[in-house]
Structure formats: structure tokens, C-alpha cells
Amino acid sequence: MAERTWFFASDGKQQGPYAEQQFRELVARGVVAADTLVWSAGMSGWQRAGDIPGLLSSAGGPPPMPRPGAVVAGGMATGESVAADFSTWGLFGRVLLFVIGTLVIIPAPWVATMLYRWMVARLRVPQRPNLAFTGQPGDIWYVFVLTGLIGYAGFTDFWWLPIVLAPVNAFLAWMVTRWIAANISSDGQKLPLTFEGSAWGYIGWFVLLYVSMITIIGWAWVTTAWMRWICRNIAGTRRAVVFNASGWGVLWRTVLFILASILIIPIPWVLGWLARWYVSQFALVERAS
């Protein structure tokens, strides 16, 4: 018998489908509250979660079983998954504007900041309500301008230029990563987050990703290892960030995204699907004492 799936309404938009266990996790974390409208197959219409017998009361029972790849210590799951309420067209429109703004170069700092603010505000992190991004376009405007200029290297007659500039591009991405981590707030209070990974380490992973493209599929495992390295270097809070995705999970979803994007029309949907999946692979765990 197929597992029951659920939908819920958030900001006037339909979210889902979510498998039963995943939906119970959303209930337990407070993402789905008593007043949230929910629907599942067999229901005559949308109902408040609090009006469905046993739906919310079950959240007070044992914690959900850990997902495959979740961090487990002492036989108990300690990871708390992150989620994202990215709407399909909201994400697509802002990503498209970001790409155009970067190509034009001058608007790049503004469209990048707008995209980060929108995305961070829609992250659902356990025990961190009302997340916001507080960075300003003028903070590191030159980084986005230089990134836009480097993007034109591939359109020159010098085929080797993008390869030579790859370390520079990696250094600029490292600066953006540090800037984002340092400008996250919760409930109006700035979080003491910092990214402590070295520039050389970041450049090394970037170059390794380039080289791994030769293997056709090896880049997926490099990507997951790089994400874990980034997570290990996020400091400033009592909980550590982990990335639970597998190389196969990254590979087949990215390939499907590329194939669907060739058809152009599915791009908004597969982009939202892939972005929400990536976010769901991050979790928070208590740091070892």
C-alpha cells in the first residue's frame, strides 16, 4: 500500500507533497501548526491541522526515526532537518533576475542581495524563527562586479583564460560565503555565525571540482565532500551544521535537472524541486562536548 502523502498551505501557497514521516517532522518542528490548512488523499477538502484527530497530538510522542544518512549518536537521532518554503515562480523569477543582473554587471550587488534576503527568509530552521539576511549591496559590491566581469572570459578568443581565472573566481566565492554567514539574524537578533574555512582550502575544492568533471560523474562526490567541508567550518553556535546528501543523490537529481532544462518549459519546477531538496539535506546537530 502506498505511503500517505500530505500537503499544507503556507503564505497562500500549496506546499508538498510530503511523505507521512516527513510531514510528521514538520508538525513536530512547528512548521505545521494548529491553524495550518492541510490536505491528504481521502479528505473532502482542506482542514485546519488542529481539527484532524491525532495529527498534532502525535507530535508529543517519540522523535521520528532518523532518515538514511542522518547523524546518529548513542543510538538516537540528533539531527534536526532544515526546510525551505521556496515558491516555484518566486525562486525562478529571482534567480533569472540574478543571472541577468550579473551579466549586466552594475546591478549585480543589488540582485544578489535581494536573492539572498528572499531565500534566507524562507528557510525553516529548528529553534531559529524568522531568519533574515542583513547584508547590504555595498558591503562587498566589488566582489559581484568582478565575478560578473570574469564570467565574460569564456567569450574571448583565449580558451585558457577561464581556467587561469578559476582560482580568482573561487576566492571571490569564498568572500561571498563568509559574507552570507556573517549576516544571518533570527527574530531580529544577529547570529554569531562565521565561516572559518581558509581561502586556500576553498580554492582547492573549487579546482578539484573542475578536475573531477573529467570523470563525468565524480563531480557529484566532490560536491558532497565540499559541502561537508563548508559545514564543518561554520562556527558560532552550539549546534553544528551537517550535509547528509549522498553522491548518487546529487548526481541523479542534477542530471534530471539538466535534461529537463533542455526542454526549457520545466525549468521553474525542476529548479524549485532541486533547491528545496538541497536545503532539506542540511541538518543541525549538537556539537560533541
Q: Are residues 163 and 207 in the same domain?
A: yes
Q: Are residues 100 and 227 in the same domain?
A: yes
pLDDT-wise least confident of 29-43, 54-68, 106-120, 150-164: 54-68
Beta strands in the chain (DSSP E): 5-10, 13-19, 37-40, 47-48, 72-73, 76-77, 80-81, 83-84, 123-124, 131-133, 184-186, 189-190, 194-195, 234-235, 239-243, 282-286
CA distance 28 to 46: 20
- pLDDT number for residue 1: 41
Q: Are residues 168 and 96 in the same domain?
A: yes
Decide if 70 is inside a domain: no
DSSP letter assigned to residue 153: G
Tell me the average pLDDT across 209-232.
95
Q: Specify the number of domains making up the chain.
A: 2
% the chain with pLDDT above 70: 90
Decide if 11 is inside a domain: yes
Q: Are residues 133 and 260 in the same domain?
A: yes
DSSP letter assigned to residue 128: B
Decide if 189 is inside a domain: yes
| Helix H or strand E encompassing 215 | none
Parent domain of 181: 80-286
Q: Are residues 36 and 87 in the same domain?
A: no
CA distance 66 to 85: 22
In the structure, what pLDDT confidence band is assigned to residue 67 with cuts at 50, 70 and 90?
A: very low
- pLDDT number for residue 2: 55
The values of phi and psi at residue 75, to 5°, are 85, 0
Q: Are residues 87 and 169 in the same domain?
A: yes
Decide if 71 is inside a domain: no
CA distance 132 to 117: 6
CA distance 30 to 24: 10
CA distance 178 to 170: 12
Which of 18, 40, 65 represents a domain boundary (last residue)? 65
| Helix H or strand E encompassing 225 | helix 218-232
Which of 65, 97, 116 represents a domain boundary (last residue)? 65
- pLDDT number for residue 79: 65
Tell me the average pLDDT across 208-217.
94
CA distance 206 to 6: 39
Q: Are residues 33 and 107 in the same domain?
A: no
Decide if 267 is inside a domain: yes
Q: Are residues 17 and 109 in the same domain?
A: no
- pLDDT number for residue 289: 56
